Chains A and B, each alone.
Chain A
Amino acid sequence: ETGVTQSPTHLIKTRGQQVTLRCSSQSGHNTVSWYQQALGQGPQFIFQYYREEENGRGNFPPRFSGLQFPNYSSELNVNALELDDSALYLCASSLAGTAYNEQFFGPGTRLTVL
């Protein structure tokens, strides 16, 4: 059973650019949630995908968008990057209908916006 993986590990972009982060969910999981963890803060919920559709969204602007693929892997896209987008981006996979303690996190992608 493979765990949640994310790529890339680190990424450096400049303001105004676009970025795509990737997440492969744990085997058997069909739901992916994305979180942003700024320095010194806890993870903040961005959105969740289930059956390839957005299933809940936190307080993030539309330039944060996502996709989920038939194999349940997912992408997070951020357009028009701002300096404040610098953060650790975590994805977590779960099986729909299970409790939060069945949600497993990946190691994260560290995004730096210069």
Chain B
Amino acid sequence: DQQVKQNSPSLSVQEGRISILNCDYTNSMFDYFLWYKKYPAEGPTFLISISSIKDKNEDGRFTVFLNKSAKHLSLHIVPSQPGDSAVYFCAASGLDNNNNDMRFGAGTRLTVKP
């Protein structure tokens, strides 16, 4: 069952503009959310996370927003750079899972054009 959904398989933006990647989840027990970035031939690397007690977390150019009532989170990248071109995965977990069984979305391929 797809408990974490990324409905946009791809996104293309111009360098310097904002990239917005979206993610929806269905399991109300999820209370910790992460974004990973994946380059070809490499494993996913952690980008930014947010717990359910917050609605926003910022780290440099990256901001994650969480709307618990809508079960929706988004990743904003401002300004976008060509090096941001990668596949971005949204992931979710419940803290009662003892840090295992993290659920991933299918990913969104971001292309930032120079």
Contacts and interface: CB of A to CB of B under 8 A. Distances in A.
Interface of A: 4, 33, 35, 40-45, 48, 55-56, 58, 90, 92, 94, 96-101, 103-108
A43 B104 contact: yes
Given A33-B100, A42-B106, 10 more contacts: A35-B104, A41-B106, A43-B89, A44-B104, A48-B101, A56-B98, A56-B101, A90-B44, A94-B99, A100-B102
A108 B43 contact: yes
18 contacts: A35-B104, A41-B107, A42-B89, A42-B91, A45-B101, A48-B101, A55-B98, A56-B97, A92-B43, A94-B99, A99-B32, A100-B34, A100-B49, A100-B99, A100-B102, A104-B43, A107-B41, A108-B43
A100 B32 contact: yes
A101 B105 contact: no
Contacts of A90: 43-44
B46 A101 contact: yes
A41 to B, nearest CB: 5
A58 B42 CA distance: 23
B80 interface: no
Given A90-B43, A100-B32, A42 B101 contact: no
Nearest to B49: A101
Contact of B93 (A35, A94, A100): A100
Contacts of B93: 100
Nearest to A33: B100
A45 B100 contact: yes
Contacts of A107: 41-43
Nearest to A92: B43
A108 B40 CA distance: 11
A45 B103 CA distance: 7
